[in-house]
A = this chain, B = another copy of it.
Amino acid sequence: MAETEIYRSSTFAPVNIAVIKYWGKRDTKLNLPTNSSLSVTLSQDDLRTHTTASCSDSFTSETLTLNDAPQDISGARTQACLRELRQLRQTLEENDSSLPKLSPMKLKIVSQNNFPAAAGLASSAAGFAALVRSIADLYALPSTPTELSRIARQGSGSACRSLFGGYVAWNQGTQLDGSDSVAYSVAEQAHWPEMRALILVASAEKKDVSSTSGMQATVATSTLFQHRVENVVPGRMEGMEKAIKERDFPAFADLTMKDSNNFHATCLDTSPSILYLNDTSRAAIRICTAINSSAEDGKPICAYTFDAGPNAVVYYLASHTDAVAGVFKGILGSELEGWEGVKGRDVKAGSVPEGYQHVGEVLRKGVGRVILTSVGDGPRGVEEHLC
Protein backbone atom coordinates (compact mmCIF):
# COMPACT_ATOMS: atom_id res chain seq x y z
CA MET A 1 0.00 0.00 0.00
CA ALA A 2 2.75 2.44 0.90
CA GLU A 3 3.98 2.70 -2.67
CA THR A 4 0.67 4.13 -3.86
CA GLU A 5 0.23 6.54 -0.98
CA ILE A 6 0.12 10.24 -1.96
CA TYR A 7 1.71 12.76 0.40
CA ARG A 8 0.35 16.30 0.23
CA SER A 9 0.93 19.69 1.68
CA SER A 10 -0.71 22.98 0.75
CA THR A 11 0.08 26.58 1.46
CA PHE A 12 -1.01 30.11 0.71
CA ALA A 13 1.75 32.62 -0.01
CA PRO A 14 1.47 36.39 -0.37
CA VAL A 15 2.49 39.01 -2.90
CA ASN A 16 4.89 41.69 -1.73
CA ILE A 17 5.46 45.17 -3.16
CA ALA A 18 8.86 46.72 -2.54
CA VAL A 19 9.29 50.20 -1.16
CA ILE A 20 13.07 50.04 -1.60
CA LYS A 21 13.44 48.43 -4.98
CA TYR A 22 15.34 45.36 -6.11
CA TRP A 23 16.82 46.09 -9.56
CA GLY A 24 20.02 44.50 -10.75
CA LYS A 25 21.79 41.21 -10.08
CA ARG A 26 25.40 40.63 -9.27
CA ASP A 27 24.90 36.91 -9.98
CA THR A 28 22.20 36.01 -12.48
CA LYS A 29 22.29 32.30 -11.74
CA LEU A 30 21.79 32.62 -7.99
CA ASN A 31 19.67 35.80 -8.24
CA LEU A 32 22.06 37.68 -5.99
CA PRO A 33 21.11 41.36 -6.01
CA THR A 34 23.30 44.44 -6.37
CA ASN A 35 21.48 46.09 -3.47
CA SER A 36 19.31 45.26 -0.49
CA SER A 37 15.57 45.86 -0.76
CA LEU A 38 12.54 46.16 1.50
CA SER A 39 8.88 45.37 0.94
CA VAL A 40 5.44 45.26 2.44
CA THR A 41 3.73 41.88 2.34
CA LEU A 42 0.14 42.29 1.10
CA SER A 43 -2.91 40.56 2.49
CA GLN A 44 -3.57 37.07 1.19
CA ASP A 45 -7.29 37.74 1.39
CA ASP A 46 -6.79 39.81 -1.75
CA LEU A 47 -3.67 38.51 -3.44
CA ARG A 48 -2.22 35.08 -2.93
CA THR A 49 -0.93 31.96 -4.58
CA HIS A 50 -2.41 28.70 -3.32
CA THR A 51 -0.11 25.75 -3.96
CA THR A 52 -0.38 22.06 -3.26
CA ALA A 53 2.80 19.99 -3.40
CA SER A 54 2.32 16.26 -3.58
CA CYS A 55 4.58 13.31 -4.10
CA SER A 56 4.08 9.62 -4.52
CA ASP A 57 5.88 6.54 -5.75
CA SER A 58 2.99 6.22 -8.18
CA PHE A 59 3.90 9.48 -9.96
CA THR A 60 5.91 8.81 -13.11
CA SER A 61 6.81 12.36 -14.02
CA GLU A 62 7.29 15.65 -12.29
CA THR A 63 4.68 18.31 -13.14
CA LEU A 64 3.81 21.89 -12.34
CA THR A 65 0.42 23.45 -13.08
CA LEU A 66 -0.50 27.11 -12.65
CA ASN A 67 -4.09 28.28 -13.01
CA ASP A 68 -4.91 24.96 -14.71
CA ALA A 69 -2.20 25.35 -17.36
CA PRO A 70 0.80 22.99 -17.40
CA GLN A 71 4.08 24.85 -16.83
CA ASP A 72 7.62 23.97 -17.78
CA ILE A 73 9.17 22.53 -14.62
CA SER A 74 12.58 21.98 -16.20
CA GLY A 75 13.71 25.62 -15.97
CA ALA A 76 16.96 26.16 -14.11
CA ARG A 77 15.30 28.31 -11.44
CA THR A 78 12.56 25.88 -10.56
CA GLN A 79 15.05 23.03 -10.65
CA ALA A 80 17.39 24.88 -8.28
CA CYS A 81 14.57 25.18 -5.72
CA LEU A 82 13.55 21.53 -6.07
CA ARG A 83 17.14 20.33 -5.83
CA GLU A 84 17.83 22.27 -2.63
CA LEU A 85 14.60 21.14 -0.97
CA ARG A 86 15.17 17.49 -1.93
CA GLN A 87 18.68 17.69 -0.56
CA LEU A 88 17.38 18.87 2.80
CA ARG A 89 14.78 16.10 2.87
CA GLN A 90 17.38 13.52 1.94
CA THR A 91 19.56 14.58 4.85
CA LEU A 92 16.59 14.19 7.20
CA GLU A 93 15.87 10.75 5.80
CA GLU A 94 19.50 9.68 6.17
CA ASN A 95 19.48 10.72 9.82
CA ASP A 96 16.14 9.11 10.63
CA SER A 97 15.36 5.85 8.84
CA SER A 98 11.83 5.85 10.21
CA LEU A 99 10.89 8.69 7.87
CA PRO A 100 9.15 7.87 4.61
CA LYS A 101 11.51 8.18 1.63
CA LEU A 102 9.91 11.15 -0.07
CA SER A 103 13.01 12.64 -1.63
CA PRO A 104 13.25 10.22 -4.57
CA MET A 105 9.53 10.54 -5.39
CA LYS A 106 8.29 12.62 -8.30
CA LEU A 107 6.53 15.82 -7.33
CA LYS A 108 3.22 17.07 -8.58
CA ILE A 109 2.74 20.76 -7.89
CA VAL A 110 -0.52 22.59 -8.52
CA SER A 111 -0.96 26.34 -8.06
CA GLN A 112 -3.81 28.81 -8.30
CA ASN A 113 -3.66 32.59 -7.97
CA ASN A 114 -6.72 34.36 -6.57
CA PHE A 115 -6.07 37.38 -8.79
CA PRO A 116 -6.31 37.67 -12.57
CA ALA A 117 -3.08 37.24 -14.54
CA ALA A 118 -4.22 40.28 -16.50
CA ALA A 119 -3.78 42.35 -13.34
CA GLY A 120 -0.17 42.70 -14.39
CA LEU A 121 1.06 41.96 -10.89
CA ALA A 122 4.35 40.16 -10.57
CA SER A 123 3.04 36.81 -9.41
CA SER A 124 6.42 35.06 -9.43
CA ALA A 125 7.20 36.20 -5.89
CA ALA A 126 4.07 34.60 -4.43
CA GLY A 127 4.46 31.66 -6.79
CA PHE A 128 7.97 30.68 -5.77
CA ALA A 129 7.31 31.40 -2.11
CA ALA A 130 4.31 29.07 -2.22
CA LEU A 131 6.24 26.42 -4.14
CA VAL A 132 9.12 26.42 -1.66
CA ARG A 133 6.95 26.62 1.41
CA SER A 134 4.53 23.86 0.30
CA ILE A 135 7.37 21.46 -0.51
CA ALA A 136 9.18 22.34 2.73
CA ASP A 137 5.96 21.47 4.59
CA LEU A 138 5.51 18.30 2.55
CA TYR A 139 9.06 17.32 3.46
CA ALA A 140 8.55 18.44 7.08
CA LEU A 141 11.73 20.46 6.91
CA PRO A 142 12.67 22.26 10.12
CA SER A 143 13.94 25.24 8.10
CA THR A 144 13.18 28.78 9.27
CA PRO A 145 11.57 31.28 6.89
CA THR A 146 14.99 32.91 6.46
CA GLU A 147 16.50 29.57 5.44
CA LEU A 148 13.65 29.00 2.99
CA SER A 149 14.08 32.54 1.66
CA ARG A 150 17.56 31.58 0.48
CA ILE A 151 15.99 28.81 -1.61
CA ALA A 152 13.03 30.83 -2.89
CA ARG A 153 15.43 33.59 -3.97
CA GLN A 154 16.90 31.21 -6.52
CA GLY A 155 13.45 30.82 -8.09
CA SER A 156 12.71 34.52 -8.26
CA GLY A 157 14.69 37.16 -6.38
CA SER A 158 11.76 38.97 -4.80
CA ALA A 159 10.14 35.66 -3.79
CA CYS A 160 12.49 35.55 -0.81
CA ARG A 161 10.58 38.45 0.74
CA SER A 162 7.24 36.61 0.40
CA LEU A 163 8.33 34.04 3.04
CA PHE A 164 7.41 36.62 5.71
CA GLY A 165 4.42 38.73 6.59
CA GLY A 166 4.55 42.38 7.56
CA TYR A 167 7.60 44.43 6.65
CA VAL A 168 10.45 42.46 5.15
CA ALA A 169 14.02 43.22 4.14
CA TRP A 170 16.22 41.26 1.77
CA ASN A 171 19.85 41.62 2.69
CA GLN A 172 21.96 41.69 -0.45
CA GLY A 173 24.70 39.70 1.30
CA THR A 174 28.36 39.49 0.42
CA GLN A 175 29.04 35.75 0.05
CA LEU A 176 29.70 34.40 -3.43
CA ASP A 177 27.43 31.41 -2.83
CA GLY A 178 24.55 33.64 -1.72
CA SER A 179 24.31 32.03 1.71
CA ASP A 180 23.79 35.45 3.35
CA SER A 181 21.53 36.87 0.67
CA VAL A 182 18.33 36.17 2.58
CA ALA A 183 15.19 37.87 3.84
CA TYR A 184 14.41 38.81 7.41
CA SER A 185 11.50 40.40 9.20
CA VAL A 186 11.81 44.11 9.91
CA ALA A 187 8.46 44.20 11.68
CA GLU A 188 5.45 41.95 11.92
CA GLN A 189 2.11 42.88 10.42
CA ALA A 190 0.81 43.45 13.96
CA HIS A 191 3.45 46.11 14.59
CA TRP A 192 1.86 48.46 12.04
CA PRO A 193 -1.39 46.88 10.87
CA GLU A 194 -2.90 50.16 9.65
CA MET A 195 -0.96 50.12 6.39
CA ARG A 196 -3.27 50.05 3.35
CA ALA A 197 -2.49 49.64 -0.33
CA LEU A 198 -4.56 50.71 -3.31
CA ILE A 199 -3.41 49.14 -6.56
CA LEU A 200 -4.37 50.96 -9.75
CA VAL A 201 -4.25 48.30 -12.40
CA ALA A 202 -3.53 49.96 -15.73
CA SER A 203 -5.48 48.75 -18.73
CA ALA A 204 -3.52 46.11 -20.60
CA GLU A 205 -0.39 47.44 -22.25
CA LYS A 206 2.10 45.06 -23.72
CA LYS A 207 5.25 45.18 -21.66
CA ASP A 208 8.22 45.35 -23.97
CA VAL A 209 11.05 44.78 -21.52
CA SER A 210 10.82 42.03 -18.89
CA SER A 211 12.26 42.84 -15.51
CA THR A 212 14.80 40.03 -15.85
CA SER A 213 16.34 41.42 -19.03
CA GLY A 214 15.62 45.04 -18.10
CA MET A 215 17.55 44.98 -14.86
CA GLN A 216 20.63 43.49 -16.45
CA ALA A 217 20.52 46.06 -19.24
CA THR A 218 20.48 48.73 -16.54
CA VAL A 219 23.43 47.15 -14.75
CA ALA A 220 25.36 47.04 -18.02
CA THR A 221 24.58 50.47 -19.46
CA SER A 222 23.24 52.99 -16.95
CA THR A 223 25.78 55.58 -15.85
CA LEU A 224 23.67 56.30 -12.76
CA PHE A 225 22.99 52.76 -11.60
CA GLN A 226 26.23 52.15 -9.69
CA HIS A 227 25.73 55.42 -7.86
CA ARG A 228 22.24 54.31 -6.83
CA VAL A 229 23.57 50.99 -5.57
CA GLU A 230 26.52 52.35 -3.66
CA ASN A 231 25.41 55.76 -2.48
CA VAL A 232 21.64 55.96 -2.54
CA VAL A 233 20.13 52.65 -1.43
CA PRO A 234 22.17 51.90 1.73
CA GLY A 235 21.03 55.05 3.51
CA ARG A 236 17.47 54.48 2.37
CA MET A 237 17.44 50.93 3.76
CA GLU A 238 18.42 52.29 7.16
CA GLY A 239 15.92 55.13 6.93
CA MET A 240 13.12 52.80 5.88
CA GLU A 241 13.76 50.30 8.70
CA LYS A 242 13.69 53.18 11.12
CA ALA A 243 10.50 54.64 9.64
CA ILE A 244 8.77 51.27 9.94
CA LYS A 245 9.99 50.63 13.47
CA GLU A 246 8.79 54.10 14.52
CA ARG A 247 5.58 53.84 12.46
CA ASP A 248 6.57 57.13 10.87
CA PHE A 249 4.34 57.31 7.80
CA PRO A 250 5.69 60.61 6.39
CA ALA A 251 9.24 59.21 6.40
CA PHE A 252 8.00 55.91 4.95
CA ALA A 253 6.13 57.78 2.20
CA ASP A 254 8.98 60.09 1.37
CA LEU A 255 11.47 57.23 0.97
CA THR A 256 8.99 55.05 -0.91
CA MET A 257 8.28 57.68 -3.56
CA LYS A 258 11.92 58.72 -3.84
CA ASP A 259 13.08 55.16 -4.29
CA SER A 260 10.47 54.39 -6.92
CA ASN A 261 11.54 57.52 -8.79
CA ASN A 262 15.19 56.64 -8.40
CA PHE A 263 14.74 53.10 -9.69
CA HIS A 264 12.74 54.31 -12.71
CA ALA A 265 15.39 56.98 -13.32
CA THR A 266 18.04 54.27 -13.73
CA CYS A 267 15.68 52.43 -16.11
CA LEU A 268 15.30 55.59 -18.19
CA ASP A 269 19.10 55.96 -18.15
CA THR A 270 19.47 52.47 -19.65
CA SER A 271 20.43 52.00 -23.32
CA PRO A 272 18.08 51.45 -25.01
CA SER A 273 16.02 53.43 -22.56
CA ILE A 274 13.35 51.65 -20.47
CA LEU A 275 10.31 53.71 -19.57
CA TYR A 276 7.79 51.67 -17.59
CA LEU A 277 5.80 54.70 -16.49
CA ASN A 278 3.10 55.74 -18.95
CA ASP A 279 0.56 58.57 -19.00
CA THR A 280 -1.64 56.65 -16.56
CA SER A 281 1.29 56.30 -14.17
CA ARG A 282 2.12 60.00 -14.50
CA ALA A 283 -1.48 60.89 -13.72
CA ALA A 284 -1.39 58.66 -10.61
CA ILE A 285 1.83 60.37 -9.49
CA ARG A 286 0.25 63.79 -9.95
CA ILE A 287 -2.87 62.87 -8.02
CA CYS A 288 -0.75 61.52 -5.14
CA THR A 289 1.30 64.70 -5.17
CA ALA A 290 -1.91 66.77 -5.11
CA ILE A 291 -3.31 64.72 -2.21
CA ASN A 292 -0.09 65.15 -0.27
CA SER A 293 0.20 68.87 -0.88
CA SER A 294 -3.32 69.41 0.41
CA ALA A 295 -2.67 67.42 3.59
CA GLU A 296 -3.21 69.48 6.70
CA ASP A 297 0.28 69.71 8.14
CA GLY A 298 2.07 69.38 4.79
CA LYS A 299 3.22 65.85 5.59
CA PRO A 300 2.53 63.14 3.00
CA ILE A 301 -0.45 60.88 3.66
CA CYS A 302 0.06 58.64 0.64
CA ALA A 303 3.00 57.16 -1.24
CA TYR A 304 3.06 55.81 -4.77
CA THR A 305 5.44 53.13 -5.96
CA PHE A 306 5.78 51.40 -9.34
CA ASP A 307 7.40 48.07 -10.17
CA ALA A 308 8.52 47.21 -13.70
CA GLY A 309 5.22 48.30 -15.23
CA PRO A 310 2.66 51.10 -15.24
CA ASN A 311 0.55 49.97 -12.23
CA ALA A 312 0.63 52.34 -9.28
CA VAL A 313 0.58 50.91 -5.77
CA VAL A 314 -0.48 53.62 -3.35
CA TYR A 315 0.27 53.10 0.33
CA TYR A 316 -1.63 55.01 3.03
CA LEU A 317 -2.84 54.51 6.59
CA ALA A 318 -6.35 53.30 7.42
CA SER A 319 -7.14 56.64 9.07
CA HIS A 320 -6.59 58.37 5.71
CA THR A 321 -8.75 56.00 3.67
CA ASP A 322 -11.22 58.66 2.60
CA ALA A 323 -8.54 61.29 2.02
CA VAL A 324 -6.55 58.94 -0.24
CA ALA A 325 -8.60 56.02 -1.57
CA GLY A 326 -11.70 58.23 -1.49
CA VAL A 327 -10.12 60.76 -3.84
CA PHE A 328 -9.20 57.96 -6.25
CA LYS A 329 -12.72 56.55 -5.99
CA GLY A 330 -14.12 59.99 -6.83
CA ILE A 331 -11.85 60.22 -9.86
CA LEU A 332 -12.24 56.66 -11.12
CA GLY A 333 -15.94 56.23 -10.39
CA SER A 334 -17.34 53.74 -7.90
CA GLU A 335 -18.62 51.50 -10.72
CA LEU A 336 -15.03 50.54 -11.65
CA GLU A 337 -14.13 46.92 -10.92
CA GLY A 338 -12.62 46.54 -7.48
CA TRP A 339 -14.61 49.05 -5.44
CA GLU A 340 -17.47 46.57 -4.98
CA GLY A 341 -15.51 44.36 -2.58
CA VAL A 342 -15.71 44.51 1.18
CA LYS A 343 -12.68 46.81 1.43
CA GLY A 344 -13.81 49.22 -1.29
CA ARG A 345 -17.54 49.43 -0.75
CA ASP A 346 -17.39 51.75 2.23
CA VAL A 347 -14.70 54.09 0.93
CA LYS A 348 -16.37 57.49 0.61
CA ALA A 349 -15.85 58.88 -2.89
CA GLY A 350 -14.24 62.32 -2.61
CA SER A 351 -13.99 65.15 -5.06
CA VAL A 352 -11.28 65.57 -7.69
CA PRO A 353 -8.57 67.92 -6.39
CA GLU A 354 -9.01 71.40 -7.78
CA GLY A 355 -7.19 71.89 -11.07
CA TYR A 356 -6.76 68.16 -11.57
CA GLN A 357 -9.86 67.46 -13.70
CA HIS A 358 -7.79 66.78 -16.80
CA VAL A 359 -5.28 64.60 -14.95
CA GLY A 360 -8.20 62.75 -13.39
CA GLU A 361 -9.62 62.07 -16.85
CA VAL A 362 -6.33 60.63 -18.04
CA LEU A 363 -6.27 58.39 -14.99
CA ARG A 364 -9.85 57.24 -15.46
CA LYS A 365 -9.15 56.32 -19.07
CA GLY A 366 -6.07 54.32 -18.17
CA VAL A 367 -7.09 52.37 -15.07
CA GLY A 368 -8.92 49.10 -15.70
CA ARG A 369 -9.57 48.04 -12.11
CA VAL A 370 -8.47 48.69 -8.55
CA ILE A 371 -7.43 46.31 -5.81
CA LEU A 372 -7.80 47.44 -2.22
CA THR A 373 -5.63 45.62 0.22
CA SER A 374 -3.41 46.03 3.24
CA VAL A 375 -0.31 44.72 4.95
CA GLY A 376 -0.74 41.00 5.58
CA ASP A 377 0.79 37.92 7.09
CA GLY A 378 3.28 35.38 5.74
CA PRO A 379 2.69 31.99 4.12
CA ARG A 380 0.15 29.76 5.89
CA GLY A 381 -0.24 26.04 5.67
CA VAL A 382 -3.81 25.19 4.63
CA GLU A 383 -5.84 21.99 4.57
CA GLU A 384 -7.44 22.72 1.23
CA HIS A 385 -5.58 20.71 -1.38
CA LEU A 386 -5.63 21.42 -5.10
CA CYS A 387 -4.81 17.84 -6.09
B-contacting residues of A (Cβ < 8 Å)?
206, 208, 222-224, 227-228, 231-232, 254, 257-258, 261-262, 264-266, 268-273, 275, 277-279, 282, 285-286, 289, 358
Contact = CB atoms under 8 A, between A and B. Distances in A.
Given A224-B228, A231-B223, A273-B285, A268 B279 contact: no
Nearest to A293: B272
A84 B266 CA distance: 42
Nearest to A260: B273
B269 A275 contact: no
A358 B206 contact: yes
A266 B285 CA distance: 16
* Max count, chain B CB within 10 A of own CB: residue among A227, A268, A275, A282: A268
Contacts of A271: 254, 257-258, 261
A288 to B, nearest CB: 9
A228 B224 CA distance: 7
Report whether over half of chain A's contact residues are helix, strand or loop; otherwise say mixed: helix
* Of A231, A258, A278, most B-chain CB atoms within 10 Å: A258
30 contacts: A206-B358, A223-B231, A223-B232, A223-B258, A224-B227, A224-B228, A224-B262, A224-B265, A224-B266, A227-B227, A227-B231, A254-B271, A257-B271, A257-B273, A258-B269, A258-B271, A261-B269, A261-B273, A262-B269, A265-B265, A265-B268, A268-B268, A268-B277, A272-B285, A272-B289, A273-B285, A273-B289, A275-B277, A275-B282, A278-B279
A385 B208 CA distance: 54
A65 to B, nearest CB: 31
A265 B269 contact: yes
A358 B358 CA distance: 24
A277 B275 CA distance: 9
A60 B222 CA distance: 57
Top 8 A-B pairs ranked by shortest CB distance? A265-B265, A265-B269, A227-B227, A265-B268, A279-B279, A261-B273, A224-B224, A223-B232
Contacts of A279: 278-279
Contacts of A277: 268, 275
Contacts of A269: 258, 261-262, 265
A268 B261 contact: yes
Nearest to A233: B223
A62 to B, nearest CB: 36
A282 to B, nearest CB: 5
Nearest to A223: B232
A254 B270 CA distance: 12
A299 to B, nearest CB: 14
Contacts of A223: 227-228, 231-232, 258, 262
Contacts of A270: 261
